[in-house]
Structure 1
């Protein structure tokens, strides 16, 4: 029989050699990832998806229609807003035009009737006054004639004022109030129409569609990303470097980044070096890092962005530790 220890020993040596070679490779280079600028399109209104016009893998451009939603509640609000605008406009027009011809005729007829009643009451009161002065009328009858005269006079005054107001037109305060109501109704309609226009999901940037999260017939909620993908020609390389080794990296340096899976090399430029948030700092013991070391993110933009566009997202890349300081 074979001795198990004799079999395990060579395997351990092979694993040690592979690990050592891999570690040696990483000792001479920083390891990073291929990144792209991502973008997502959402809806502002809740609605059911009626139609999706793109598919995963498509390249869409700014202004392209991605999907159409069904918004029955918004459609009803638009109809209501049209009714409110129509009513407010009619009120404002009526205030501007003032009384109609028929209304003026009615007021004039009312004025003439009040004038006749007043004239009759005035004559009756004069006769009653003369008879009362000659003691030919009882005080009660005189008081009744006087009350009728005063009532007819008040009725004539009221009718005269009403007719004069109708001829003069509506007060400017009333016109301003109806104008404000009309403007408010127009704003409500505009708001409803803007909401109704949100039934179309429009691309605001060029994008390579990677993921479509919903299907036709499903309900889309506000803020939920329906379409997500990458901005074309936005590939860059991301590396994280500890504080103890950041001196090897210089902003503006021209560097060469290697892609292990495709065995390609890309020339690029270090555009930013920024400290990562506090939670990324090293606070425990690591073989290569010191305690409480800050960690920095390095962003490298490739010179040939079109060639880099074909790289796989999030694949590993290597940056030699002696990156140089040329600008």
Structure 2
């Protein structure tokens, strides 16, 4: 009996201790946030090499990944062939064709036919990829357009071969000059696209997640790397409408880190209403379901170090 009374007493003491240590629930709980950055590619390619890992700190301009895009080499060959063909056509239109130029035209015609064959093969390959839902309809249409351009180029060279001995008109000279300029522009476009093989950091950032591994296919617009700027810390609070009038945009707030007791001053950057399904950072039972919910973005004004904060850690408004 005595043992039973001692047990009851100890249990009561534990309950009282737990009650005394219970922290007061506040509706002004917020989260630490950082400005996020996503890095993607404009072209589809296979990830050949990753130079970063999750948690790494990188500087603006650092190489994050190298993509294998074989189509770029093929397009460069096509662009070089197009320039050569356009230059030959312009020279022939300007001075009239000689025996050597006729031979050159024949070689260009052979090159154009080879490009046409390559374009046919490329279209067939991408058509199969489209059927397997690996590429979009727009990408297939672009390849089809290049195929039609290759056919047109062959037809144009064949026609030029027949007219090589005739004297050129002014209109023909202008046309030949325009084709040469267009071919040069196509080469510049390929050179610009080749820069997409290297994914570079757009700013000083911390790598948070890497969505794909080496050897996997990266689709256009798909975010390969997600991260955030360490020097872009801010605090996000959600407040119900019955308390929102206690705050004013541009006013100063005093906040506290509940784990380090560090006090931080900040300025309310904006106040905006949130949809019903939005994330609420404060304790859910403090809200009436009929009330609207508002978001406060608070930018620190006191000297802070982003290294001392962790994303989504709790921050409190000191009342």
TM-score bucket of the superposed structures, by smaller chain: 0.5 to 0.7
Residue 196 of structure 1, aligned match among 190, 194, 197: 194
2:231/2:305 contact within 8 Å kept:
no
Shift of 1:76: 1.2
1:235/1:309 contact within 8 Å kept:
no
Residue 58 of structure 1, aligned match among 56, 59, 62: 56
Equivalent residue runs for 1:1-327 within 5 Å: 2=4, 10=12, 13-14=15-16, 17=19, 21-22=22-23, 25-27=24-26, 30-100=28-98, 169-277=167-275, 279-280=277-278, 288-304=286-302, 306-321=304-319
More divergent stretch after superposition (171-180 vs 57-66) = 57-66
1:280/1:294 contact within 8 Å kept:
no
TM-score for the superposition, normalised by structure 2:
0.68
Question: For residues 47 and 7 of structure 1, what CA distance do their matches in structure 2 show?
Answer: 70
1:96/1:175 contact within 8 Å kept:
yes
- Aligned counterpart, 1:113: none
Shift of 1:79: 0.9
Instruction: Name the CA shift for 1:99/1:202 in 2 (closer, same or farther; >3 Å).
Output: same
1:258/1:319 contact within 8 Å kept:
yes
Shift of 1:302: 1.4
Shift of 1:52: 2.1
Instruction: Name the CA shift for 1:7/1:71 in 2 (closer, same or farther; >3 Å).
Output: farther
**DSSP 3-state at the match of 1:84:** helix
The number of residues matched between the two structures is 250
Instruction: Name the CA shift for 1:188/1:80 in 2 (closer, same or farther; >3 Å).
Output: same
Instruction: Name the CA shift for 1:262/1:245 in 2 (closer, same or farther; >3 Å).
Output: same
**DSSP 3-state at the match of 2:37:** strand
Report the aligned-residue RMSD: 3.2
Which whole-Å deviations, capped at 9, do the CAs of 1:280-322 have from their partners, x for residues lacking one?
499xxx854345322111111112454244211101111134x
Instruction: Name the CA shift for 1:229/1:101 in 2 (closer, same or farther; >3 Å).
Output: closer
Question: For residues 216 and 199 of structure 2, what CA distance do their matches in structure 1 show?
Answer: 15
Question: For residues 100 and 28 of structure 2, what CA distance do their matches in structure 1 show?
Answer: 92
**DSSP 3-state at the match of 1:34:** strand
Which whole-Å deviations, capped at 9, do the CAs of 1:43-89 have from their partners, x for residues lacking one?
22222222222333332222222111111122112112211121111
Instruction: Name the CA shift for 1:43/1:281 in 2 (closer, same or farther; >3 Å).
Output: closer
Question: For residues 280 and 221 of structure 1, what CA distance do their matches in structure 2 show?
Answer: 29
Instruction: Name the CA shift for 1:196/1:258 in 2 (closer, same or farther; >3 Å).
Output: same
Question: For residues 226 and 300 of structure 1, what CA distance do their matches in structure 2 show?
Answer: 29
- Aligned counterpart, 1:162: none
- Aligned counterpart, 1:140: none
Shift of 1:41: 0.8
In the alignment, structure 1 segments of 5+ residues that lack a partner are 104-164, 322-327
Compare CA radii of gyration and give the structure with the larger one: 1
Shift of 1:279: 4.3
